[in-house]
């Protein structure tokens, strides 16, 4: 499938069905995310979303990312402890997914950069955790200057776990 130009823009309520469909498509191809697929619209619009963006091509949503308010996530707690940063000044990069057909057009990078610009404008330091199985995502974060700050275990489902790595966004 050849895509038209990909546009990254702020998420709007009308994008929810398309973003949910893209999330299910990514789960089917990549096994990501490990949660949220049962009710993708609720997962995308979960509590604590400060801002979100979508990638669109030809009228179809092909990607999404959000910045969440830090509320006990392992990466946020770890960064606050390591840096002495007030958790009120930490945001969590989350809900990043890009359908396979849009990955060769820097869609993930552009979504992450939109979230990073938002965070910089609000004096938030972004953190995230990424499952170790998601090697392509790890390579992308590291290419964009994110620094590994530790490791954790991601809990999901009925007591399931998977190893994850915590990162903090570059400054400036």
pLDDT number for residue 157: 77
pLDDT number for residue 4: 75
pLDDT number for residue 154: 84
Contact 143, 102 (CB under 8 A): no
Does the domain made of 7-168 have the CATH classification 3.90.180.10?
A: no
pLDDT number for residue 129: 94
What's the start-to-end Cα distance of the chain, in Å?
Answer: 36
> In a 10 Å sphere around its CB, with 0-12 CB exposed, 13-18 middle and 19+ buried, how is residue 93 labelled?
buried
Q: For 129-143, how does the pLDDT look when each residue is reduced to its tens digit (9 = 90+)?
A: 999 998 989 999 999
For 88, how many CA atoms within 13 A lie in the half-sphere containing its CB?
A: 0
Coil, strand or helix at 156: strand
Q: Measuring CA to CA, which residue among 124, 41, 39 is closest to residue 79?
A: 124
Handedness of CA 103, 108, 109, 114 (dihedral sign): positive
pLDDT number for residue 102: 93
Q: For 33-58, how does the pLDDT look when each residue is reduced to its tens digit (9 = 90+)?
A: 887 788 999 999 988 999 999 999 99
- The whole-number mean pLDDT for each consecutive block of 10 residues of the chain, a chain of 172 residues, reads 81 97 94 85 93 96 97 93 93 96 92 97 96 92 97 85 94 78
Residue spans per domain, the chain:
7-168
């Amino acid at each position: 499938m050849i895509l038209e130009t990909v546009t990254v823009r702020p998420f709007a309520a009308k994008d929810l069905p398309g973003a949910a469909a893209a999330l299910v498509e990514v789960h089917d191809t990549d096994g990501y995310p490990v949660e949220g697929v049962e009710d993708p619209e609720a997962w995308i619009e979960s509590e604590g979303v400060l801002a979100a963006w979508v990638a669109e091509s030809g009228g179809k949503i092909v990607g999404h990312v959000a910045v969440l308010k830090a509320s006990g996530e392992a990466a946020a707690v770890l960064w606050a402890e390591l840096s002495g940063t007030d958790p009120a000044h930490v945001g969590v990069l989350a809900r990043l997914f890009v359908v396979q057909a849009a990955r060769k057009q820097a869609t993930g990078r552009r979504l992450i950069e939109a979230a990073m610009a938002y965070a910089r404008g609000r004096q938030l330091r972004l953190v995230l955790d990424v499952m170790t199985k998601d090697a392509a995502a790890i390579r992308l974060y590291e290419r964009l200057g994110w620094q590994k700050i530790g490791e954790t275990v991601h809990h999901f489902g009925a007591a399931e776990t998977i190893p994850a790595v915590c990162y903090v966004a570059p400054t400036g």
